[in-house]
Structure 1
Amino acid sequence: MTTATLNEKQGYKIMGISLPLFALLTAVILAATYMEVLPKGMIGAFALMMVIGAILNEIGSRLPIVKDYLGGGALVIIFGSAALVTYNVLPESASTIMANFMRGEGFLDFYIAALITGSILGMNRNLLVKASVRYLPAIIGGVVVALGLVGLVGALIGYGAKEAVLYIGVPIMGGGMGAGAVPLANIFGGSLGVEPADMLSVMVPAVALGNAFAIIVAGLLNRIGKVKQQLTGNGELLRTKEKQSKDHVEEKEEKIELNYQMMGKGLLLAVSFFVFGLIVEKFVPQVHAYAWMIITVALVKIAGLLPREYEVGAFQWFQFIMSNLTGVLLVGIGVAFTNLQQVIDAFSLQYILLVAVTIIGAVVGSGYIGKFVGFYPIESAITAGLCMANMGGTGDVAVLSASDRMKLMPFAQISSRIGGAFMLILASTLLGLL
């Protein structure tokens, strides 16, 4: 029986593949996994992660409450994948292959490079300029309300305002693990005379649980936006008198035929911008390479330095990556970056309440200030709020995927990288004051 015949006889599809054929492919890949003959490197990683991501996405997209209010497939992929590793459902060799693919082989960087380059070059230049100059106030609004609220609630429930701000609020809003909790632990440890490792053990549960809450709230905000249309731009950050989609380059792209050679140019541009960010970071290590990449791509776009065909190529490459490999990335986040046990161990009513109010404060503050400076409240709350409260680059992907707003990745990365650097400075200042 040919693949075409399988497709004709079976209407239900996963990843666009007929169910019988997908089941056959899955059986082959799982057999190799449990026989421990799955190839190392990207071949084995892609095979297993695409299958796991597709299956968990189907489950998440159909669970009644999860699909409508908790982020749907994205949430299930991340925590389902984490559970497969935590409870040893998958062989250790398979977990190692996937973790190495994300960390050592750089798939996360590869994915984010494509998204940042393509989404910025695919934006309307005027909208990019207008949005960028208003973004920092929205970030500050979210940080101020989040820290103020967690401090107040911490004092009221007996946890302590200072402890709630420093050990829960600041780590959550600090830009993730590598760029947030780790340097924060060093800063706090040096100032308080405590071992950084001990400080990290206090901060990690807050960061992990805050990331989980941010993903859930992202799904809820997406649902709210469908009910309260006046609060959302449906993926557009900046309010305009006319719908932004009329001016957006993405609308123009629909008239341009898919061109594989242009996509190749987009691939080269994406990795080149990323490499340039690493070069600049070598000289200015205080700012993350992602941040330098965002700044560089934005300046190139604003200055109009690239011919249109290159912008189109970068945008088409970004669409290909986002459409086909987001599930792979979410599986990687679950396997390599989500410690399910840490999240579970942090579950106490007092701790959960403080994490929750931090996330709520970030959403309310960034949403309100965002509206004041001309953003749609939901998009502002997601990017300037939740993407400050998640676990950096991996959290950005999860939050934007759960809220179905992946094209806002450039602003999410500004929150995680530049906003994260801002939090390190703020943390040092708060230690002196508190």
Structure 2
Amino acid sequence: MENKKSTLDFPAMNIKISGIPLPIYLAFTIITGVSIAVKWLPSGMIGALLVMMILGGLFNIIGNNLPIVKTFLGGGAIVCIFASAALVYSGLISEDIVENVDQFMNKTGFLNFYIAALITGSILGMDRSLLLKAAVRFLPVALCAMSLAILSVGVVGTLVGYGFVDAVMYVAIPMMGGGMGAGVVPLSSMYAEALHTDSAAIISRMIPASTLGNVMAIVGAGLLAKLGDIKPGLTGNGLLMRNHNSEMSEKNNSSVSLEELGIGMITAMVFFLMGVIINKFVPAVHSYAWMIILVAVSKGGGFIPAKFEDSARQWSQFVMKNWTSALLVGIGISMIDLGAVVKAVSPMYLLLVFVVVGSVSVGAGIGGHLVGFYPVESAITAGLCTTNMGGTGDIAVLSAAKRMELLPFAQIATRICGALILIVASILTQILF
């Protein structure tokens, strides 16, 4: 009997994007592209998520195979963000698609849905003793590193003629405020009130610092990951604490059931809801921070049944595996303004932003080493994650470093340290302005 090749037995079928053979993936891409061109793409969740997942898969595999990008710049993560932002900047993605993705990411709450899953699963999947030991050391390391960065940029700003006050108040503080909504917006109102001026002029000075800081933090995360590959003794490959036998994801190979995924999803959403409820009574502390505290206390006190802990961890892994690239595309489309980045680029400005990012990462790396952390993981979380754009920046930085399991610590750096920066800024406006 003559052997015949299967119709699917082609070399291209061995190349897979998001688990889908290349020819089929390209067919899906063409269908989506034509639907966009003739404006037949559904609005809402289906249209937004489909565009994000299609572009995310393509950009991720491209970035993970570009020689310099994959080695030094974070691979697929950075391509997902900036390639999609470039499509918006060039007009290749229409305004209605941008609005739909922005609506889905922010107002519909996909970003919150993603972050809730990762925070809950990451913390509940940790070893309890690791959580307790790391938490009490992490915040002091981050705060000391931020103080070093603020002082350093002030000194450099004075030397290059930018000014100590301007370098601190318009470069360092906006970069460390916890992102756009939680940092730059309230800071601009605070400055405007102190200076008796319009907040629009203030925010236009702050956005480039926040955006460029986010870019450099992402690139820095890729470089630190490469440093860990070259110097294995400096990294725990996703573990923060040295000399700790347990791993955060010690049950990665355990089986998962559909029921457990549902339990994990509900658990994550309930913890997020509780964080939102407490935020209503104590609005000075972000709801993400309250959620971290609630999950950490529940884990540390042993209040969560083992099945719920494992279900939350499995759900976070499902979300991370399937939607990280899509989320990064959503960040690029809806939250990265390449125009503002381009306008702000000047040698002096880039130097000041680099001083902040470099100082905080070096300070966090050294400080982390002194308290028993791996320097690479400490530099990424207690350092770089204080200079990115909030929760989205945390995801981008950790994706570039391939250390998504560190998201709870990244969120501590972003939310709690960001809130403290706002308090410091309110004091400095009275002293320096």
1:34/1:91 contact within 8 Å kept:
no
- Aligned pair count? 429
Please report how far the alpha carbon of residue 369 of structure 1 lies from its aligned counterpart in structure 2 after TM superposition.
1.0
- Out of 194, 201, 209, the residue aligned to residue 197 of structure 2 is 194
* 1:142 paired to 2:141: no
Q: 1:16 to 1:253 in 2, by over 3 A?
A: closer
What CA distance in whole angstroms lies between the structure 1 residues aligned with 2:285 and 2:9? 52
The aligned residue for residue 16 of structure 1 is 19
2:148/2:363 contact within 8 Å kept:
yes
1:191/1:431 contact within 8 Å kept:
yes
What CA distance in whole angstroms lies between the structure 2 residues aligned with 1:116 and 1:105? 19
TM norm structure 2: 0.96
1:393/1:413 contact within 8 Å kept:
yes
The aligned residue for residue 324 of structure 2 is 326
Structure 2: state its 5+ residue gaps.
none
What CA distance in whole angstroms lies between the structure 1 residues aligned with 2:415 and 2:384? 13
Q: 1:310 to 1:194 in 2, by over 3 A?
A: same
The aligned residue for residue 226 of structure 2 is 223
TM norm structure 1: 0.96
- Out of 257, 262, 265, the residue aligned to residue 264 of structure 1 is 262
1:6/1:20 contact within 8 Å kept:
no
What CA distance in whole angstroms lies between the structure 1 residues aligned with 2:84 and 2:9? 29
Please report how far the alpha carbon of residue 93 of structure 1 lies from its aligned counterpart in structure 2 after TM superposition.
2.0
What CA distance in whole angstroms lies between the structure 1 residues aligned with 2:229 and 2:34? 42
Structure 1: state its 5+ residue gaps.
none
- In structure 1, give the amino acid aligned to 2:280: K
1:173/1:423 contact within 8 Å kept:
yes
The aligned residue for residue 376 of structure 1 is 374
Please report how far the alpha carbon of residue 3 of structure 1 lies from its aligned counterpart in structure 2 after TM superposition.
10
- In structure 2, give the amino acid aligned to 1:268: I
The aligned residue for residue 247 of structure 1 is 246
Any idea what the Cα deviations from partners look like across 1:86-110, whole Å, max 9, x if unmatched? 1110222222221111011110000
1:144/1:365 contact within 8 Å kept:
no
What CA distance in whole angstroms lies between the structure 2 residues aligned with 1:308 and 1:199? 49
- For residue 112 of structure 1, give the secondary structure of its aligned residue in structure 2: helix
What CA distance in whole angstroms lies between the structure 2 residues aligned with 1:194 and 1:403? 40
- Out of 229, 236, 240, the residue aligned to residue 237 of structure 1 is 240
* 1:44 paired to 2:42: no
Structure-to-structure mapping, 1:288-367, within 5 angstroms:
288-367=286-365
The aligned residue for residue 409 of structure 1 is 407
What CA distance in whole angstroms lies between the structure 1 residues aligned with 2:200 and 2:320? 36
- For residue 103 of structure 1, give the secondary structure of its aligned residue in structure 2: helix
Any idea what the Cα deviations from partners look like across 1:176-228, whole Å, max 9, x if unmatched? 11111111111112122222221111111110111111101011000011001
Please report how far the alpha carbon of residue 8 of structure 1 lies from its aligned counterpart in structure 2 after TM superposition.
7.8
- For residue 41 of structure 2, give the secondary structure of its aligned residue in structure 1: coil
- In structure 1, give the amino acid aligned to 2:263: K
What CA distance in whole angstroms lies between the structure 2 residues aligned with 1:253 and 1:433? 51
Give the share of equivalent positions with the same residue, in percent: 50
- Out of 67, 71, 74, the residue aligned to residue 68 of structure 1 is 71
Please report how far the alpha carbon of residue 269 of structure 1 lies from its aligned counterpart in structure 2 after TM superposition.
0.4
What CA distance in whole angstroms lies between the structure 2 residues aligned with 1:92 and 1:201? 22
1:253/1:312 contact within 8 Å kept:
no
Deviates more, 1:91-100 or 1:152-161: 91-100
- In structure 2, give the amino acid aligned to 1:315: R
Q: 1:302 to 1:263 in 2, by over 3 A?
A: same
- For residue 251 of structure 2, give the secondary structure of its aligned residue in structure 1: helix
The aligned residue for residue 182 of structure 1 is 185
- Out of 75, 79, 83, the residue aligned to residue 80 of structure 1 is 83
